[in-house]
Structure 1
Amino acid sequence: MEYAFLLFAFVCGLTVKLIGIPPLVGYLLAGFLLNFAGYGLTDELTQIANLGITIMLFTIGLKLNIRDLSRREVWAGSVSHTVLWVGVITCVVYGVSALAASYIDGLTWQSAALVAFALSFSSTVCVVKVLEESGESKTRHGRLAIGILVMQDVFAVVFLVVATGKLPTVWALALLALFPAMPLIKKMINKSGHGELLPLTGFILALGGYHLFELVNIKGDLGALIFGIMLAQHEKASELAKSLLSFKDLFLIGFFLTIGLTALPDITMMLMALVFCLLIPIKALLFFGLFTSLRLRGRTSYLSSLVLSNYSEFGLIVGALAVSLGLLGNTWLVVIALSVSISFVITSILYRTSHSQYHRYKEKIKRFEKNRRLKEDIYPTLHNAEFLVLGMGRVGRGAFNALSKLTDVNVWGMDADRVKIKELADEGLNVICGDGEDIDLWDNLDIKDVQLVLLALPSIQDSINITRQLKNAGYTGKVAAIARYEDEVSSLLENGVDKVFNFFTEAGLGFAEESLAYAHSQR
């Protein structure tokens, strides 16, 4: 039966992708259609969904710099938003429930506050998936959004502990033994190599963290996240996260299906869910106002607010607990589930055009910026750069090193990952931290001497967007990009890229040329 569910999810995901909508919208639709057809949630599918969330939280931890959580914009932004949202939305929910009391269970002030709290979270699953698909998880706004999500996850765990009265056992202190055990765990990761043992190691660690924390009455998902954070500084953390990527995406299909299979709504519930979704702009405006008041740039505030403007799977967990405690009626859980589903669709569709939206309204958005900038938001400078490599991963670093051997060329590199840039700068390389899709960055960079921009990025959509931003900023030099598949080459050329290198073909050609040159030198 689970195979049939996944097959149907695949069909729906492929169908919506063909019309330009993200596949996760199709997965949600599949869940509701299966529910409408009379199918229910199974234990096996629930286990698949839970595994997907556990692996996802572990990979988030692997990519998270713990110092990001200590930033004022993260902790102050998340706390302030939760308090303001719950205060405002409690009044709104109570008023709406009073007006619709003849159609749906009424609410007390306490119950209304619980619904507002359940709707205060943004979806970790949706946000991370959207950021990863757009290649923006390491950008300034991406890291800010993920930091907010982690803080919200902590709020949810604290609520669950308080509401259930399920305090950690005294054995929770034994978790401190993880710190001296870290060298052994890291050595195990090193010994796992680069093959099939590496993702298996990731599974063992993620599930091990989950079950260890569950054993001492702490939410297991928090354990998976903490395990990931503790391993984030390991040299193989990025490789470990990538090895789990496909598994995580596969299991998360089960999560999207479970939302649709949770309950079958009626017209009244649908209308209530739509009313809740009309509150999403308030959520976005609150985030935007708080971020700009904390001196973040307008673009960072806008993009972070947009991607966080949805409801969360944690809302379902909070709602389910409230129902089990008799604080909410079952109908409200269905309404929350519908609201979560619809908000996923809204975020997935709106964020696809987020950069063009900002470009269109940037003058109005920038009016809310503070004159005094945060240190991290001060624009970098280029010094007489002739070649600029965007994306300092393996391919970009290889291109950077090759160009640097040309003594008469001034080569610079750029990447959105601030940690990576600091490491490269410590090596003495000419590098700057920046998001290539940021039109404000290009407007403030001196690129008049740049003859060639090399886009060493995994996403062709990112390459296309950056090419457009360069043209909008008045760049007149050449743009080169890499493609992994043949059908991506024509798309890049049609969108303004001057030269495209097929990653696999060119890598094979370069390998052959280097080998031939070496063979001749040995004669």
Structure 2
Amino acid sequence: MSGTLPLILILLISSVLAVALFRKLQLPAMLAYFLVGLALGPHTFGVLPDDEASREFAEFGIVFLMFSIGLEFSLPQLYAMRRKVLGLGGAQVFITLALTMCIAKLAGVNWAAAFVIGAALTMSSTAIVSKILAERIDLNSRHGRLSIGVLLFQDIIVVPVLVLIPALGKANANIFDVLGLATLKAIGMLLFLFTVGKWLVNPLFNLVASQRSRELFVMNVLMVTLLVAFATKTAGLSYALGAFVAGMLISETKYRYQVESDIAPFRDILLGLFFISVGMLLNIAEIFNNIGVILLTLLGFILLKAVIVTAVVRFVKYEIGVAIRTGIILAQAGEFGFVILALGAEQKLIAGPTLQVVLAAALLSMVIAPFLIQYNGRIARRLARSYTRNSSQIIEEIDEGSKHLNNHVVICGYGRSGQYLGRFLKEENIPYVALDIDPSRVLEASAAGENVMFGDAARRVVLEAAGAARAKALIISYADNRAAMKILHIAQESYPQLPVIVRTVDDSNMEALREAGATEVVPEILEGSLMLASHALMLLGVPLNRVVKRIRIFREERYSMFKGYFRGISDTENEEIAKQEVRLHSVIITTGAYAIGRCLNDMQLDSFEVSIKNIRRPHANSAHMSNESLLAEGDVVVLLGQPAGLANAENALLMGRVANK
């Protein structure tokens, strides 16, 4: 097929269909891009050309990936996590790299190719691990924090690896001279960019931002990124190093988060193109010819990484169960592994069956990673009896600490809100037990005499040990709706008479939480609005007793006056959430409207599941209007409901008919 447009159309159609399918199956989108590259590449249907122009364009994907890493790179964060990052991360990377290189050399691979293979398989998938840990609410667990620390070091170490690979690709040169020169160039370039570059970037971004043009701002980000990347490439290094440095430079400005938001679409699309180009490297015939070696490599490096990570975590005195869970979580290959393999192939360091075997094994490891991570706790309990005993010990400790309590309060989460609540309860001599999964917080708080224990409140046995059956109330103090839903499900099933109070950020999930069994839902935004209103009324001279009375009435009405909000064009949200969200909507009774001369009671708007919040007549006191008042031209009816019901109610008021009913 000739012509650029048909190729682009085929690429877009294939990518959209593949990504949609993989999202539906809850698999990483990058695997869909690999599949597209494999299907359309030169070794399968040959639709996409494997030429220099395609590879150079795909390299921009690496540029924006490295730019994003640089943008998120934080020296204070690195220092705060130095033990996990430098200690655990460094040990995992260097031990895995050394052992993998030795195994590859024994398999007959030269040292340069062995380095590429070792560096590629050392990496783990930040995208997969962070996503699944966040979904499982495991980011703050011990194995979660250890995994993130190791991943952070891997993200850092990929920068010198990308500097070394082009140096290894230099033919007929002393390797130590080449590496030494590359190191000096990198240091010199970094010093120049972080002195002169930092001095130039801040004024430039201030000037561009003052023009208040989003297009200009995005163009400036692209210009700075590509300019720095080009400078490092010209110096004999790599585009990726320059992009990483550009990200670090911009992260020091106050525009970091705006840049991150604006660049995300470019990054994701170009990254997709890069992964398609990696998929194009796969040769389906060679994969089938070497399927036994691929599966053996897959099993070997997953076990090797899991064992190394487990041993390193165990060495720094973590219990065996936590070590095994961390090892399982980090056992797969990662995005940067493909970046390293692609660069190694470009430098002619690795090719043929060796490249196919490593690529296929790395890809398969990422396919099975979500399933391994999902069951990491179960696997750890099967492999380590002491971990099972330790879990039982945690339950016993919670049971021991709460067995004397009766008619107490169980607080799920002992962060800032949970601690403030605990102080109020203590002042009123109301007994409570708090559960939290942050070990350092639990250690400090319990040392200070607080009745807080380590345990995941989303587990039935933990709630049971905390005495939920004897408790007077259960309070979920952290604003995580997914975790709250899990706890509510357990409470409804096991303790249906137990009152549950849930804290949430806003009112968007109030109904869902109530339907799940919450007795009360406390949205922070609405409570903040009540406090703001009370302070404003007192400053305006309203007597304190009237203010208190009004606030009490509002709370008794369960926030009915505050529920919902008027949506604007700046409000962006998930489409599915937007369809279910309760909001306010004003309907102006225009000339010829059906409702003119009729009262709202006759309109039966409650059949559309909307309620009437207010009726306003221009130049008149709204208090004089009621549901029995006859509507006239110019009246404004304020409705509360979901978007579909509001649309139907508006059609009924204006035209006397219902749309999409």
Is 2:323 the partner of 1:301?
Answer: yes
Q: 1:206 to 1:299 in 2, by over 3 A?
A: farther
TM-score for the superposition, normalised by structure 1: 0.67
Question: Partner of 1:455: helix, strand, or coil?
Answer: coil
Deviations 1:43-71 (A, max 9, x none): 58615523442343224415972223564
Structure 1 stretch displaced more, 326-335 or 339-348? 326-335
Question: What amino acid is the match of 1:304?
Answer: T
SS in 1 for 2:284: coil
Q: What is the match of residue 36 of structure 2?
A: 30
TM superposition shift of 1:221: 2.5
Work out whether 1:5 is the aligned partner of 2:11.
yes
| Superposition map of 1:112-123 within 5 A | 113-114=114-115, 116-123=117-124
CA spacing shift, 1:436–1:228, aligned 2, 3 Å:
farther
Deviation at 1:163, TM superposition (A): 0.7
User: Structure 1: which amino acid aligns with 2:312?
Assistant: L
Q: Which residue of 2 aligns with 1:254?
A: 273
Cα distance change, pair 275–513 in 1 and its aligned pair in 2 (3 A): same
Residues 240 and 438 (structure 1), Cα distance of their counterparts in 2 relative to 1, 3 Å cut: farther
The residue correspondences of 1:390-405 to structure 2 (distance < 5 A) are: none
Residue pair 1:114, 1:322 contacting (<8 A) in 2 also: no
Distance 2:313 2:73 in 1: 23
- Give percent identity, aligned residues only: 14
Which one-letter code corresponds to 1:80 in the other structure? Answer: I
Q: Does 1:15 align with 2:18?
A: no
Shift of residue 153, structure 1, vs aligned partner: 1.2
Per-residue displacement from partner, 1:77-118 (whole Å, max 9, x unpaired)? Answer: 322232233334543xx1xxxxxxxxxxxx456477356425
Q: State the Cα deviation string for residues 400-429 of structure 1 (Å, max 9, x = none).
A: 8899899869999979799xx9xxx9xxxx
| Counterpart secondary structure, 1:39 | coil
Q: TM-score, normalised by structure 2?
A: 0.55
* Distance in 1, Cα, partners of 2:226 & 2:524: 37
Choose which of 75, 79, 100 in structure 1 pairs with 2:94: 79
Contact 1:388 1:454 in 2 (8 A): yes
Q: What CA distance in whole angstroms lies between the structure 2 residues aligned with 1:305 and 1:353? A: 12
Task: Output the amino acid matched with 2:477.
Answer: L
Report what 1:66 is aligned to.
78
Q: Give, as a single letter, the amino acid of the residue that structure 2 aligns with 1:31.
A: G
Cα deviation for residue 478 of structure 1 reads: 3.5
Conserved 8 A contact 1:45-1:258: no
Counterpart in 2 of 1:98? none
2:237 counterpart of 1:218: yes
The counterpart of 1:146, out of the listed 143, 146, 151, is: 151
Instruction: Give the aligned residue type for 1:254.
Output: L
Q: Is residue 317 of structure 2 the alignment partner of residue 311 of structure 1?
A: no
Of the two structures, which has the highest relative contact order with CA contacts closer than 8 Å and spacing of 6 or more? 1
Separation in structure 1 between the aligned mates of residue 439 and residue 199 of structure 2, nearest angstrom = 26
Structure 2 CA distance for aligned equivalents of residues 109 and 294 of structure 1: 34
* C-alpha contact (below 8 Å) 1:39/1:261 kept by paired residues: no
- Measured in 2, the distance between the counterparts of 1:509 and 1:401 equals 19
- Secondary structure at 1:283's aligned position in 2? helix
1:53 aligns with 2:65: yes
Change (3 A) 1:129 1:291: closer
CA distance in 1, matches of 2:186, 2:344: 28
Name the stretch that deviates more: 189-198 or 20-29: 189-198
Separation in structure 2 between the aligned mates of residue 447 and residue 211 of structure 1, nearest angstrom:
63
Check the 8 A contact 1:144/1:304 in 2, yes or no: no
SS at match of 2:182: coil
Deviation at 1:362, TM superposition (A): 6.2
Residue 155 of structure 1 and its aligned partner are, at CA, apart by 5.5
Structure 1: unaligned runs, 5 residues or longer? 95-106, 370-381
- Is structure 2 residue 308 aligned with structure 1 residue 286? yes
Partner SS, residue 282 of structure 2: coil
Q: 8 Å contact 2:476–2:484 — kept in the other structure?
A: no
Shift of 1:143: 2.7
Q: 1:50 to 1:225 in 2, by over 3 A?
A: closer
Q: Check the 8 A contact 1:483/1:489 in 2, yes or no.
A: no
Which amino acid is 1:455 matched to? Answer: Y
- Output the amino acid matched with 2:331: S
Are 1:414 and 1:433, in contact at CA under 8 Å, matched by a contact in 2?
Answer: yes
> Which runs of structure 2 are paired with 1:208-247 in the superposition (5 Å)?
209-226=228-245, 228=247, 241=260
Contact 1:313 1:340 in 2 (8 A): no
Give the aligned partner of residue 340 of structure 1.
362
SS across alignment from 2:476: strand
- Alignment map for 1:162-201 (pairs within 5 Å): 162-164=167-169, 165=178, 167=182, 172-173=187-188, 175-177=190-192, 178-179=194-195, 182=198, 185=201, 192=209, 196=214, 200=218
Please list every run of 5 or more consecutive structure 2 residues that lacks an aligned counterpart in the other structure: 1-6, 170-177, 392-400, 543-661
Task: Tell me how far apart the structure 2 counterparts of residues 433 and 63 of structure 1 sit (CA, whole Å).
Answer: 32
Match of 1:455 among 466, 478, 496: 478
- Paired with 2:305 and 2:261, the residues of 1 have a C-alpha distance of 32
CA contact (8 A) 1:58 1:226 kept: yes
| Change in CA separation of 1:147 and 1:48 when aligned onto 2, cut-off 3 Å | closer
Which digits, 9 at most, give the CA deviation of each residue in 1:13-47, with x for residues without a partner?
A: 22233344444443433333333443225358615
Partners of 2:312 and 2:409 lie apart in 1 by 39
Partners of 1:470 and 1:73 in 2: CA distance: 39
Matched letter for residue 162 of structure 2? V
Opposite residue 14 of structure 2, the aligned amino acid is: F
Deviation at 1:268, TM superposition (A): 1.0
Partner amino acid, structure 2, of 1:261: M
Q: CA deviation at 1:238?
A: 6.3
Q: 1:170 to 1:360 in 2, by over 3 A?
A: closer
Name the CA shift for 1:281/1:108 in 2 (closer, same or farther; >3 Å).
closer
The 2-side partners of 1:386 and 1:199 are apart by 52
- CA contact 1:281–1:309 (8 Å) conserved in 2: yes
1:377 counterpart residue number: none
Which has the higher mean CA deviation after the structures are superposed, 55-64 or 264-273?
55-64
The answer as to whether partners of 2:34 and 2:278 remain within 8 angstroms in 1 is: yes
Distance of aligned partners of 1:214 and 1:48 in 2 relative to their CA distance in 1, 3 Å threshold: closer
CA–CA distance in structure 2, aligned partners of residues 484 and 37 of structure 1:
51
Matched residue of 2:317: which SS?
A: coil
Indicate the larger mover: 325-334 or 462-471: 462-471
Letter in 2 for 1:34: L
Q: How many residue pairs align between the two structures?
A: 478
Q: 1:83 to 1:210 in 2, by over 3 A?
A: same
Distance 1:308 1:284 in 2: 7
1:480 aligned counterpart, secondary structure = strand
Amino acid of the residue matched to residue 518 of structure 2? D
- CA 1:205–1:74 in 2, change beyond 3 Å: closer, same or farther? farther
Q: Distance in 1 between matches of 2:492 and 2:75?
A: 32
Closer, same or farther: CA 273–252 of 1 in aligned 2, 3 Å: same
Q: Is the 8 A contact 1:54 1:206 kept in 2?
A: no
Provide the residue aligned with 2:610 in structure 1.
Answer: none
* Residue 23 to residue 271, structure 1, CA distance change in 2 (3 Å): same
The structure having more radius of gyration, on CA atoms, is 2
Change (3 A) 1:142 1:249: farther
2:172 is equivalent to residue 160 of structure 1: no
SS in 1 for 2:237: coil
